[in-house]
Each structure stands twice: as C-alpha cells, then as structure tokens.
Amino acid sequence: MNTNYNSAYEQLTAEKIAVLKNEPLKNHTTFKIGGPCPLFVTVNSVQELKTTLKILDTHKIKFFLLGNGSNLLVDDSGINSAVITLSGEFKKIEINGNTIACGAGVSLAKLCTAAAQANLQGLEFAYGIPGSTGGAAFMNAGAYGGEMADVLTLAEHITQDGEDGITKGEQLQFGYRSSCYRQNGCIITKLHFALQPGKFEEINAKMKDVMQRRTDKQPLELPSAGSVFKRPQGAFAGTLIEQCGLKGYKIGGAEVSAKHAGFIVNSGGATCDDVLNLIKHIQTTVQEKTGYFLETEVIYLK
C-alpha cells in the first residue's frame, strides 16, 4: 500500500470512520469473485461521506461506490482505488402517506417489504432484485414489466466536490438500464418514491408471485451477478444464447447457467478471467450465429 493510502487510512481512522486495508472484494460481491481494494470505507452518515470524499480527494485517491455488489465483476488482482459502502442512516426508511423515502443503502427487498406493510403498491416488480435502492436507481433496474423510473420521483445526492443536490422528474433522464447518475459522477444518498394505496394481501401475493417466478427461472442457488447482458432490440439475450447451444458451457469455474442462459454462474472457484473469457466466447458465438452483438450489463472493475 502506497504512502497516500496509508495517510488516508490514518486520517479516516482519526475521524472515527470505519476503514479496512486490503479488503478482498469477493466478500462483497454476489459473484464471490474479486481481489482486494486498498481501502474499504463504511460511512454511516452524509457528514461521514463528505469527510471521506474530502480525505480521498486530498490524497488524489479514486473511489468506487459499492451497493449490494450484485451487478459487479471485480478483477482477480483487485482494484487500485478505494471502495465506499453506505450503512447507518443510509439504511433508514421513512413513510409519509403514499410516499416512501429511504437511504441509498437500503436493500430493495427491505424497501418492498416496508411498502407492502404500509399498504402501498408499485414496488412489487423489484422484490427479489438483489441490489440496493441506490444501485437500482443508478441503473434504472427493472423486472416483470416495472422499473425504477415508474416510481422514483426524486433523488438526493452529493457531488464529488461534497455539495448537496437533488434531481427530480425528467432530470433523472431514465432510460433502459441508465439514469443521469451514470454520467454525472454524483453519489445518490436518498431516494423518494411515489406509490399508490393498496391492500397488503394483494401486494404481498404479487411479491410472492414475483419471487416464485424468479426462483423457478433463475439460478439463485449459485453465485452470479444477475443478468450479464442487456436486452438487445427485438430479442432476448438468454434466448439467443440458448439457441446457440451454450447452456451449460463452461470455462474454468464460470458456467452459462443451465437454468437461465442469460446468467453466468460461479459453479465453484471461478476467477474473473474465467468469466471474462466466457463472456467473450458468448458474444462471439451469438454474433456469428445470429447477427446480434450482446452488450454487457454487468460492470467490470479493474
């Protein structure tokens, strides 16, 4: 670890901000793959986040904001930047009438459950998506006919200079698996959702149905990063991969799921290189046989 990282570590510790050195990222991704990062920082408040950003900037240290680690593939050699993860007040949920506000570190499962218990509908589609609300907003996560753009009305954030800000309505620039936050470099801290009144029994039944459909169709029993590829226009990635006879195809410990060809699973001891080589093989094969080029949805960190 170089001098800058050591100095930043000492400053963060002096500020009583939780920080680990050389933390393996395989412990924090749903793929269970990834080497170490020099500093792994857990912040519990907006003020701690601002202090952390200032310290990292002083030492010219890049950072990556980690949600639930569910859409990530991290290089086996690790990454040369700090990782920040949100806890504490970022895990809180507030309900006011038909509106729910929550910290960006809240899991989608917890948010959906809270909405159901408050007899509020509109988030059922997100139940079972293995991510944080901040990550879901960042990429406009969606499933089963719904997406974050349908319910998210306002996001609070901090710029990389430590300034507070908000984005709402059309400013969020939602598109397929994208939002303004993919470009502007701001850190989402809090989210506001506009929902509709409903009955708990009906909402809960929809959530159970969504989860059952996920369990039936997706390889939830094995580590993965969810859907590896974006949906190509006019087709489905999983269907194209299956049509090319790639279900069950393996490179090292990385395998095209026999349950859903749109998933690559860690069948045991998979390395990042295994996954990257398998992705390349899938892309080449599908393009040669169908004419479609599959663009990756999973984020690769190196």
Active-site positions?
177, 227, 297
Cα atoms in the Cβ-side hemisphere of radius 13 Å centred on 22: 4
Structure tokens at 251: 């490179």
Report the length, in residues, of the chain: 302
In SS3 terms, 282-295 reads as: HHHHHHHHHCCCCC
In 3D space, the residue among 87, 179, 230 whose CA is nearest the CA of residue 238 turns out to be: 230
Tokens found for residue 190: 């809090």
- Residues 151 and 157: beta-carbon distance below 8 Å: no
Distance CA 126, CA 27 (A): 24
DSSP reduced 3-state for 101: strand
Q: Hey, what are 211's tokens?
A: 């989860």
What is the C-alpha radius of gyration for the chain, rounded to an integer number of angstroms? 20
User: How far is the C-alpha of 271 from the C-alpha of 76, rounded, in Å?
Assistant: 7
